[in-house]
Structure 1
């Protein structure tokens, strides 16, 4: 079975007009998978709905005062501006629920071998502050949770968002049981890039072939050297050639190939894989849906080979042609 994790609250947040964050993409992706493409007819797929994590649970990772201020709307205005969202109860609810979703994705991956989350990837959240649309770091939180599960002694976070996972790197810098691997644009947000365990920084305008060649080589070596018991994969699509915040030239097909490679490597090495959709930015949120969907088609292609699944017809991006 292919478990998918989703909650309607992910898109239930009212933002100011022309806000950069594509808040509706989660609901649009869910509808794309369940209605337009009828994913249930392709394979044995099941949706799971997570519960919100408690503030106390997050205090095992983040500073207690920061979490309390975040929940109680007492965070200084400058720190909220650094996050990039206006405070609201809905913002807190979706943040806690999404963190619960990534934790659930880890649990399901350990049970079924793979699980995909229709949210997650908030890797710019640090110990005592949030940044870049990230309030709490669900990747680090879920990785720490994974180490409490039977048979999980080493976790690798593979972060393919175009922006370096700076919060994840700092939060887990002293954790020898969690390996952080970030592949990103060298000249993009954040300006200061603390060291991950593995950083693959590629120049602006990197194209599909160059990206895949470099990434596949480093990932293959990293998996062979470190042999993780679980992989948490941030499948950000802001590497796409038409992303508003990306600066790479990777095509939609290239994203499918990247996701297929990560999933097949984990599958072939019997490593459970918990994936989140990560970043992706367009003014027209619908244009993101098909690109994010490549992760799901890649998972089906690897885990349902008898059905000979490939990316469905019509996966060329709106602006690729």
Structure 2
């Protein structure tokens, strides 16, 4: 059965006019239920990730600042969110959702988190709407519990997974792959194990050809036993923060390539949603919903 992490606490209220589309975390499960892609049985409510696990990926002093709401004004500004206890609780819960979805992926082949993909969170600071790195925490969980030995982080958000790259820069058992806008945020990139920077306006055909070639190379070069897929939809041409030129159909084909690769290679895959900032919320929901439909179609 397809299992999906979701909680009402994902829908943290933000000040009016804030550019982060928090409402997608409520609308996406509603859409999936309405169209019959899933039922309530497919959803599970996650539990918060443990402090012990947080400290495997994040510095103790940084975690202390989060817990005590003592980030400086500049540190808060870098995250893009107004700081509050409920926001920290949300981040801890979302990370728990990704960790628990990884266990379901090991059991069923695939599982998803309605949120997550917080790849800009460094070991010692937050950036770009990310305070805790759920991708790193999930990888650490898989390592510590000896459930995976070679983890591929497949990051196809339009923005480079800079925090994830920093956390795993000295860990050869986690391979960080990021295909992102060359001139987009973050303006100072980290070095992933493999980065593919894309020019502004990159369209479906070029993107999909690059991805197909890259997946084959990743199999030969790293041969993972688990995939964490950051499937941000800010690659769309309609995205306000994206700068690429992809269509909804191109994003669906991207997700299909990745899921078919995982299925063909018998690799468990955990998908976390990442960014999406198109002007119309319906475009964001439709782009995100495609990966859930594909998961049902290809795995169940």
TM-score bucket of the superposed structures, by smaller chain: over 0.9
Secondary structure of the structure 2 residue equivalent to 1:182: strand
Runs of 4+ in 1 over 4 A off after TM superposition: none
Runs of at least 5 residues in structure 1 that lack an aligned partner in the other structure: 305-321
2:217 maps to 221
What pairs up with 1:46-61 in 2 under 5 angstroms?
Answer: 46-61=42-57
Q: CA deviation at 1:139?
A: 0.4
1:192 aligns with 2:188: yes
Q: d(CA) in 2 for partners of 1:149 and 1:229? A: 14
1:83 aligns with 2:82: no
Choose 21-30 or 46-55, whichever is displaced more.
46-55
2:3 maps to 3
Q: d(CA) in 1 for partners of 2:139 and 2:20? A: 25
Q: d(CA) in 2 for partners of 1:192 and 1:243? A: 21
Q: d(CA) in 1 for partners of 2:56 and 2:140? A: 9
1:62 maps to 58
What pairs up with 1:106-185 in 2 under 5 angstroms?
Answer: 106-185=102-181
Query: Does the aligned pair in 1 maintain the 2:37–2:293 contact within 8 Å?
Result: no
Runs of at least 5 residues in structure 2 that lack an aligned partner in the other structure: none
1:234 aligns with 2:230: yes
Q: d(CA) in 1 for partners of 2:62 and 2:175? A: 25
Q: CA deviation at 1:164?
A: 0.3
What pairs up with 1:227-306 in 2 under 5 angstroms?
Answer: 227-304=223-300
Query: Does the aligned pair in 2 maintain the 1:238–1:279 contact within 8 Å?
Result: yes
1:38 maps to 36
Secondary structure of the structure 1 residue equivalent to 2:257: helix
Q: CA deviation at 1:151?
A: 4.8
Q: d(CA) in 2 for partners of 1:299 and 1:268? A: 13
Query: Does the aligned pair in 2 maintain the 1:151–1:229 contact within 8 Å?
Result: no
Query: Does the aligned pair in 1 maintain the 2:37–2:296 contact within 8 Å?
Result: no
Query: Does the aligned pair in 1 maintain the 2:56–2:140 contact within 8 Å?
Result: no
1:20 aligns with 2:19: yes
Listed one character per residue, the Cα deviations across residues 241-267 of structure 1 (whole Å, up to 9, x for unaligned) are: 101100011111111111011001110
Q: CA deviation at 1:221?
A: 1.0
TM-score w.r.t. the length of structure 1 is 0.90
